Structure 1
Amino acid sequence: MKRLLLPLLAAIPHLCQGQGIVSFADSIRQQYKVPELAFAVVSSDSVLECHVLGVKRANSTYAAQPGDRFHIGSNTKAITAFIAALLVKEQKIRWNSTILTIFPELRWRTRYVYDTVTLANLLTFRGRLQGYSYNSETPSFKDLHGDYAAQRIQLAANFLTQAPMKPDENGLTPSNVDYIIAGLMLEKASRKPYKTLVQELGARLGINFYFDYPNLKDTTQPWGHNADLQPLPPAESYKMNWLLAAGNINVSLEEYTRFVRMLLTGLKGKSDLLPKKTFEQLLFGMPQFSYGWFNPLQLPQHHVAYNEGNAGAFITRVHIIKEADRGYVIFTNAASSATKEAVDVLLKELSRRYGE
């Protein structure tokens, strides 16, 4: 597949950089059979590229449009961590607040190994809780009761009874449960539902954050496609509602660029929301995975933070490069292995053209 792309890369004209990158991106989209692909390149003070290509549903004529919404999966984690930073600034919670400080009622069923786990530990994948994702078989919906908020508490309590995860070679214990519990802590500390916290952040940034797959509330929005590129009809997922703070936001590309630009502005010390040191803490404060952002080993003058969302129907990738003052955002509405490769190829070309 990669060898086939070499003549394609050589054939793309560079007479006009803007038109050239759109042609290249659409060639990649077609080559890898991605129904809809959206991408943006931003700096702290401008949007250099922002395009939406393809169709909202495979084998249809529903053309992609500006404003189309994409499920961003684990890119939600950066939004959760940013909300946490705002609440810390407002002194409604502390980074070193422990799970049992916020939920003392869970003491009776919590293993002692989790007694000292803090909000910061949870947001940086150092909570040691066992993993849970969209494809986990247990627990199932029938195992829990009440509304989704009550079910998330029961889910958290269940994982607090389990043996801890063994850290990987980087000292991380990546688990969506960390973010489920962090989201619960933010809700209790603020006395607001997580969705309200997200929508309030959106109001401050001029972003309409919604939840679940976009076609659940509006069938004219993009449909997600599974690993076999089959479109998924509208359906509510209890698992995504359990994983709310870990990965269940949908947003348009155009509006999401405002979040990325805000982060780049903050890294320059020009944000009114948080001080520069907090932005640096969020993206680069911990090695390998900071607050919602992966950051592989950094060179002294080259800091890259990224994350990828994939809840089984959309793949989204976001990269932020501090020294280049660049943010790259790629949204797709498919979750095939070919889609992931298409994202890799496009990101590489964007970085080559605009800075890495």
Structure 2
Amino acid sequence: MKKVIFLLFILTMQAPQAQTIDDQIEQIRQAHEIPQLTYAVITQDSILSLGTSGTHKSTDTRNNASLVDYFHLGSNSKAITAFIAATLVQKGLISWDTTYFDLYPEAKKQAKPEYYKATLADFLSHRAGVHAYTNGTERLALPPFSGTKQQQRTAFSQFVLTQDPIETKEPYFYSNAGYSTAASMLEKVTNKSWETLVQEILGDELHLNYVIGWPNRNLEDQPWGHALSEGELTPVPPTFEYDLSLIEPAGDLSMTVFSYIKYIQLNLAGLSRANNVLSAALYRDLFSTKHPYSLGWVVTKKSKQLQYEHAGSDGTFFSYCLIDTTSHKAYILLANSGTPLAQEGVAQALKVLRQHL
């Protein structure tokens, strides 16, 4: 009986805090015109707080948000592509120091010499100097590429390596094309497409729920992304003429919050020197190979402790994840709007979560 009374006391003490978090985040969601906002605060083996509210579309008249909804991760897909690369490094199929032309020597003659020594780790950490391809204008200027997804990605990567490299005084130059080039290297050593590798690692091995592309293009009754049209927040239909062909490895995965939690928990455990899908040494490679951008993660310091974070958006969704090595917690926020106002709201929601948890 005493144990039951103690448990009820603990739950009673926790309830006001949970309510305060939900109330504050709901106010932020509404004030920043985010149709649906999902959040989670986790450790490597537990969920400290989890919630969602709102609607799949801004035009919906009832709250239909669900914790099993999918959200587009945008560039938070980069860390997952780097994670898949690490599984192949672990198997000895490739190394971080493998160059593109170690695998495709026939493409070297047409490429710029500045790329000859660019390695897998360089492409994944934006150190290779390839063009960004972060907007549609660049991609519209591309020549047509034929064949399978894998063949098109190979042709695209070899095309970008014929372009003059980007010169910058910054430590790195952010590039979606670098991730497509890295994916092409993974495809070469496995003779499998990036899509197949994603299914084998995320789907078959980790049993994560994911789709490639927008949720509403793949599944029924899912969140729609939102963007501004003539100043008004507008749900973007699945038929809208926009896609991330050729740069899917850089930013085109969607996941449920539970699946994303499970993936991030593997990383939290790895950062605590645990071996799981990857060895602890490979997790160190992923997070600490380069500063201020490692393999799919932005690296910052707070009170002499490293933090890892990343945001992702294709303009219609916005995702954010922060891994705090001081508290050994991760903060996840997923929104189905990519507007600047929505991104500001996500930043405010993060502050609320960090204050309470």
TM over 0.5: yes
- Match in the other structure for 1:42: 42
Asked if 1:286 is matched to 2:290, the reply is yes
Code of the aligned partner of 1:241: S
Q: C-alpha deviations, 1:138-159, integer Å up to 9, x for none?
A: 4457733334333222221221
* Superposition deviation, residue 312 in structure 1: 1.4
Moved more, 103-112 or 176-185: 103-112
Distance 1:140 1:236 in 2: 20
Asked if 1:126 is matched to 2:127, the reply is yes
Tell me the TM-score normalized by structure 1: 0.90
Distance 2:280 2:26 in 1: 37
Distance 1:138 1:200 in 2: 29
- Match in the other structure for 2:116: 115
- Match in the other structure for 1:72: 73
Code of the aligned partner of 2:183: G
Q: Is the 8 A contact 2:110 2:162 kept in 1?
A: yes
Q: Is the 8 A contact 1:227 1:334 kept in 2?
A: no
Moved more, 117-126 or 16-25: 16-25
- Match in the other structure for 2:299: 295
Percent of aligned pairs with the same amino acid: 31
* Superposition deviation, residue 218 in structure 1: 2.0
Q: Is the 8 A contact 2:266 2:276 kept in 1?
A: no
Distance 2:214 2:141 in 1: 20
Distance 1:54 1:289 in 2: 34
Code of the aligned partner of 2:58: A
Q: C-alpha deviations, 1:264-300, integer Å up to 9, x for none?
A: 1111122322222321221123110001000124543
Distance 2:298 2:241 in 1: 27
Distance 2:183 2:42 in 1: 29
Change (3 A) 1:150 1:331: same
Distance 1:113 1:142 in 2: 22
Q: C-alpha deviations, 1:214-258, integer Å up to 9, x for none?
A: 101224111011134211111376741211110000000111100
**Please, which runs of 5 or more residues in structure 1 have no aligned partner?**
1-13
Q: Which residues in structure 2 correspond to 1:185-264 (within 5 Å)? A: 185-202=185-202, 203-228=204-229, 229-235=233-239, 239-264=243-268
Code of the aligned partner of 1:111: K
Asked if 1:342 is matched to 2:345, the reply is yes
Distance 2:296 2:347 in 1: 20
Distance 1:93 1:101 in 2: 10
Code of the aligned partner of 2:173: T
Q: Aligned-residue CA RMSD in angstroms? A: 1.8
Distance 2:135 2:241 in 1: 9
* Superposition deviation, residue 58 in structure 1: 0.7
Residue correspondences, number:
339
* Superposition deviation, residue 168 in structure 1: 3.9
Asked if 1:270 is matched to 2:271, the reply is no
Q: Is the 8 A contact 1:266 1:275 kept in 2?
A: yes
Moved more, 223-232 or 92-101: 223-232
Q: Which residues in structure 2 correspond to 1:18-167 (within 5 Å)? A: 18-61=18-61, 63-140=64-141, 143-167=144-168
**Please, which runs of 5 or more residues in structure 2 have no aligned partner?**
1-13
The DSSP-based 3-state class of the residue aligned with 1:227 is strand
Q: C-alpha deviations, 1:55-102, integer Å up to 9, x for none?
A: 000111361112100010100010011111110010000111101111
Q: Is the 8 A contact 1:134 1:239 kept in 2?
A: no
Change (3 A) 1:25 1:49: same
Distance 1:248 1:236 in 2: 15
Moved more, 266-275 or 66-75: 266-275
Match of 1:328 among 322, 328, 331: 331
Code of the aligned partner of 1:158: F
